[in-house]
Amino acid sequence: MKVASIYGIVGVLIITFTFFASVYKLFIDYPFTPFLFFGLWLFFDSLHANLSGTSTITKIRNGKYLRFASIFVAGIILGLIEDFYGFVISSIWLYPNTDFSSVYDVVVQYGSWGFFLAAIVEGISFFRVLLIKKHHKELGFRRHIKFHWRLVGILGALFLILPIVNYIIFKIHQEYFLIFGLLGVWFVSDYATHLSKRKTVIEDIVSFNSYILSIIFVSAILSIVIEFRNVWENDWIYPTYLFCTGPLCSIFILFVGWVLWIISLITFYRAFEAKLEKRLTRRQSK
């Protein structure tokens, strides 16, 4: 049996155990969300490695730690940014079981974001390779549209600033300003990616290629698995759902929110990775 298959099975067992522990209230004093994220990473990494021969863990096994380190650091930064807009400013989600005065709780809370982002990156990578292999080509439309990237960057900066101004001065409908925060992270990150001469998520969306389809697939899977388990765990709660109150509408809004959320996360990581690689290339050329 391949090594990737072995740790993939371990990932499934970890995911199953976190559900079992949550449903039957086992070890209630221990946080299991980081283990769920870790298990999801192992699972998606295994699928990606078996399909393409490469993945984050494959690189680690070959002594190349940069990819995982960049994902983990980017994940922690993203956790802080996303909680600033979603938890502090908008209060779209709350953490009833987290004591933010505890160093342990804070380390667990934001350290787990590293594994969460790793699961997203590997999940998208797996589905993208799968779609390309299945159709024997990159999917999507060949559209060449010129974007005013400086305007995209300015809009992103405004979207990041507006929620802060509203929170400090006006305090009007703060829950809706999470959308501005997510769009701000996305647009600023895509602008930075463009400056690094890399393809952006906005361009992927215009082409509607396999990358965007992969984001949708991963959003669907992660939203179902993570939110379903949280029904028993209540690691986070949503005091309100934007635009609606009915159950079907709430599920739809939650899914759309997950897609936008994952887009903001992955665009930030792509910009972070591009910037890091550019700096390393400069150092090596000196």
| Alpha carbon distance 177, 84 (integer Å) | 11
Q: Is 102 exposed, middle or buried (0-12, 13-18, 19+ CB in 10 A)?
A: exposed
Tens of pLDDT along the chain (286 residues)? 689 999 999 999 999 999 999 888 887 767 889 999 999 999 999 999 999 999 999 999 999 898 999 999 999 999 999 999 999 999 889 999 899 999 999 999 999 999 999 999 999 999 999 998 887 667 666 666 678 899 999 999 999 999 999 999 988 877 788 899 999 999 999 999 999 989 899 999 888 889 999 999 999 999 999 999 998 888 998 887 666 666 666 677 778 889 999 999 999 999 999 888 877 766 666 5
Cβ neighbours of residue 100 closer than 8 Å, sequence gap 6 or more: 106, 109
Q: Which of 41, 60, 6 is nearest to 112 (CA)?
A: 41
Sequence ranges of the domains in the chain: 3-285
CA-CA-CA-CA torsion for 117, 118, 122, 124, nearest 10 degrees? Answer: 0
Residue 237: φ, ψ to 5° = -135, 155
Report pTM: 0.92
The candidate with the shortest Cα–Cα distance to 116, out of 82, 142, 144, is 82
DSSP state of 65: -
Closest CA to 267 of 214, 206, 197, 188: 188
